[in-house]
Structures are given as C-alpha cells and as structure tokens.
Amino acid sequence: MNEISELRKRYLVLINSADTDSALEDVRIKALGKKGEIALKMRELGKMNMEQRQAQGPVLNALKEEINNLIKTQKDNIEGQLLDSRVASEWMDISCSTRLSGGGSVHPVTQVTEEVIAIFSSLGFKVADGPQVESDYYNFDALNIPPEHPARQEFDTFYISGDEDDQTPSNVLRTHTSPVQIRHMQQVNGPCRIIAPGRVFRSDYDQTHTPMFHQVEGLAIDTDISMANLKWVLEEFCRAFFEVETVQLRFRSSHFPFTEPSAEVDIRCSWVDNQLKIGEGNDWMEILGSGMVHPKVLEAVGLDSDKYQGFAFGVGIDRIAMLKYGIPDLRSFFDSDLRWLRHFGFSGNDYPALHSGLSKF
Ligand code: DAH
C-alpha cells in the first residue's frame, strides 16, 4: 500500500513539472506504457491470491485512472499556456486602419495639361509632339533665330556636346515648344490646328524659374487666318481654363523672331487680400506670348507665305497652374514633397472634361 502511495506521489510531481507536450508524453509512457510502472504493478496482481487481488486491483485501477486524468489536465494546461503566449506575442490592433489610406495623386502639371488639351480639343485643335533633345536647326534657325541673333543668348540654352572631333551641328535641350510648330508644318505641309504641350529646359533657377518647366504651343495655319481668330481662341481658352464667365485680354505689342506682328497677352485681374481674381479688377497679368507666324518661318518649312498665314502662341503650363490653383513657388512643383503633392495633387477621378465643370462653354 505504501508502495502505491509512494508511486502516486512521485507521479504527481513528475506530471506537474512536465512543461512540454513531449516531456508529458515521456511521463505517460513511464507510468502507463506497456512496460510502465503501473502496468508492471498490474501484472503483479496475477501472482496474488484472490483476497490480495481484490484489495489491490481497485486501488491500482483508481491510480491508473487518476494518473490518466492528471496527464490530461496537465496537457490542457500546457496547451493553454502555449495559446496565452501566442496571443501575447501575436496580438493585433484592430483599431488600426485595415487599408493604406490615400494612394498617389495627379500632379498639378499633369492635371493642367489635361485641362488645356480638353479645352483646345473642343476648339478643333489636335495634340502634336516633338523631341526634347532638339537640333539647333529646329530650336532656333527654322524659327528665324539665326546663330548671331541675340535671342539665342536670352534663352539660357543647355547645349549637348558631341565628341571632340564631331563636326555635326550641336544638339540642345529644347528651350521652348516652338520647334514642334516646324516639325508639324513640315509634316502636313498645309492647313493645321495643333497644340504641343511638353517639357522645356533653360539654365535658370529662382522662385519663378526652374531648369525644366512646361509649355504648351499653339499653331493654326490656313489661308484666311487673322489676329482676330487668335484673340477669340485665346479668350475662349482663358474663359474655360479659369472657369469665369467673362475675361478681358490685352494684346501688348512685343517681339518674337518667329512671329510678326508679335503680342504679349495680359489678362484682366485683381488682387483681393492677396488672392488673385481673374476676369475682373484693375490689374493686368501677363500670361502668354503670341503673334502671326513670321513669313520666314512659313518659307523655312516650304509653305507659300502669300497663300498661307497663321497664328501661334506659347503658354507656360506651370505658370497658369500657379495662377489657377494659387501655388506660390514654381520650384515646389518639382521637389517631390509628399505633403505638397497631397495638398495640391488631384484625385484620379478629377479627370478634366468639359462636361464636368471645367468649362462654361
Ligand atoms: N517660344 C516662346 C518662348 O518660349 C513663346 C512663344 C511666343 C511661342 C510667341 C509662340 C509665339 O508660338 O508666337 O518664350
């Protein structure tokens, strides 16, 4: 009897101190396995007389059952502890947002370019394109800016040098979108209406200048085009772009080598509490350069300047974006500052279309 209670005590300790599944399994085999201590004790019953067996049998059976139960309880404990430690280490903050909020946004330059395209498309202009690395010829000569012309200096051109013994004329990063006029006229060789938005480059840097910026060129060629057409198109554009009922434009005499006559165009505006209002007031703000295409430019692309004439204009896309959306510093456009992009960027759903409120046509 003593022996059995001794056995029981030993196993109670062993079971309670087994802290992993496999340690507990070892204890179980040691006690209840085929060659386990309890099994051996059971076998001893066979050698006993009836009386002894009747006394010992139930005690051993009770012990077997008790040990079985204790092992089961300990197994539950071990699993419980395992679960507790997993819950402690793998917790999840369900108050956190499940989705990344706010993806990218559409850059104001992209948005304004699309706005400009939408407006001019509705006026019958197609979009044309040209290379950003341009030859001297297209960027200057064909636009009536010969090598000795002072305007070449004014452009702060980035030149691309070839090899030392390279005799071919140098290339430049285009300083304006005007060379697209030349390329397009060469292609169609007759009447056309295009705009050409894109990147241009000049070696200049301050609050209103960056070495890379954006322009949109406009060109209309036909046999009966006058400055009146130019004025109407620009007025319609400004009305639609700035989303105002009426605009007033002032054509100021100017000079560009590729137009004759040339005009810089100002728009009537006012400044109220440092806020620009387009369309009314007593101030004027310069917004673009324009004119009638110079006969020499027409001749350079093989068009008969007695038969054809046309207008052209060039607008700074970033500049009109600044005016429309109240962006104070041009340099910030190209800083890639996420806070700026989130503030001034547009949602992909704001795709500009005349029917969605961009225009009051
Ligand atoms: N290319 C000129 C510039 O970058 C802008 C310009 C002025 C374009 C008059 C034109 C134009 O087509 O007619 O300063």
Nearest CA to ligand 1 atom 12: 313
Q: Which pLDDT score, from 0 to 100, does residue 98 have? A: 73
Specify the ligand 1 atom closest to the Cα of 217.
Answer: 12
Residue with structure tokens 């400044």?
271
Q: Which pLDDT score, from 0 to 100, does residue 208 have? A: 86
Per-residue model confidence as pLDDT tens digits over 313-341: 999 999 999 999 999 899 999 999 999 99
Q: Which pLDDT score, from 0 to 100, does residue 360 have? A: 38
Q: Which pLDDT score, from 0 to 100, does residue 4 have? A: 86
Centre of ligand 1 to C-alpha 198, Å, is: 13
Low-confidence ranges of the chain (pLDDT < 50): 359-361
Alpha helices in 18-131 (DSSP H): 21-32, 37-45, 50-89, 108-122
User: Computed from CA positions of residues 132, 138, 290, 271, in that sequence, does the dihedral angle turn out positive or negative?
Assistant: positive
Centre of ligand 1 to C-alpha 154, Å, is: 13
Nearest CA to ligand 1 atom 8: 314
Q: Name every protein residue with a CB atom under 6 angstroms from any ligand 1 atom.
A: 176, 178, 217, 256, 259, 289-291, 312-314
Q: Which pLDDT score, from 0 to 100, does residue 154 have? A: 77
Q: Which pLDDT score, from 0 to 100, does residue 309 have? A: 98
Centre of ligand 1 to C-alpha 216, Å, is: 9
Alpha helices in the chain (DSSP H): 2-17, 21-32, 37-45, 50-89, 108-122, 136-139, 151-154, 179-188, 227-241, 295-300, 317-325, 338-344
How many Å from the N-terminal Cα to the C-terminal Cα in the chain?
107
Q: From the CB of residue 236, how many other CB atoms can be counted at a distance below 10 Å?
A: 17
